[in-house]
A = this chain, B = another copy of it.
Amino acid sequence: MSTTPVHLALSVDRTSPVPLYFQLALQLEQAIETGRLEPGSLLGNEIELAARLGLSRPTVRQAIGSLVDKGLLVRRRGVGTQVVHSQVKRPLELTSLYDDLLAAGQQPATRVLSSATGTAPAAVAAALGVAPQAEVVTVVRLRSAHAEPIARMVNHLPVGLLDLPADALEATGLYRLMRAAGITLHSARQSVGARAATAAEAELLGEAVGAPLLTMERVTFDDRGRAVEYGSHVYRASRYSFAFQLLVRP
């Protein structure tokens, strides 16, 4: 059911400092998001596309390639490049609970339960890749939405990486603070499980003792591969679940 190639209005601005391949990728992505490029439709061959835009084929390929990596396009040799034919849209992202709640239209609120500097327990030091007795900052927060508790979050950070005033932590999310401090988050190792609530957790979160909790442990790395944060969080399973988009790399 392959249709004929779509004729899109595309153009690039050579005076802009934005790379040409990136301009093209943005326009194509937008055309896909808005539905101007329908799922399953062919993109037209790379050489002709390059000629139409006054670009070279490698540049066009770079633009298309980035969208293929995101899972928006599919290339098939001998056939052409077509828009992926499904509801798959958003690429995988390193999610932060704060941004998740904001995106869901909720109003996240945070209470800092404690914040202290001390020597790292062995497990934390190992996860962060610091010396066994190194100093780390430990922050415990309670995150709520609509005045209902959602999660208890325990975070450990290497000392000196970042100032964490309590008022800033109560006003926004940890990831936002890190980004604002010039730290570029790059990847995270995450483990998700479940267990029954202890008495203290039940009390804090407003659940019954033994209620199912969703647990997450995460080590986050910046673009140089330094571990910048180790988090150990518990969520009320009745109020929260994780959504991921996984991409397989060939």
Q: How far is the CB of A157 from chain B (nearest CB, A)?
A: 15
Report whether B214 and A194 are in contact in the complex, using a CB–CB cutoff of 8 Å. Answer: yes
A225 touches which of B69, B88, B189, B245 (Cβ 8 Å): B88
Say yes or no: A193 contacts B237, CB within 8 Å.
yes
Q: Is A243 an interface residue (CB 8 A)?
A: yes
Whole-angstrom distance from the CB of A226 to the nearest CB of chain B? 6
Query: Chain A interface: which size bin?
Result: 35 or more
Q: Which one of A89-97, A99-107, A133-141, A161-169 is at the interface? A: A89-97
B221–A86 CB distance below 8 A? yes
Q: Is A121 an interface residue (CB 8 A)?
A: no
A211–B196 CB distance below 8 A: yes
The one of B91, B192, B249 in contact with A244, judged by C-beta atoms closer than 8 angstroms, is B192
Cα(A80)–Cα(B226), bound, Å = 17
A213 at the interface (CB under 8 A from B): yes
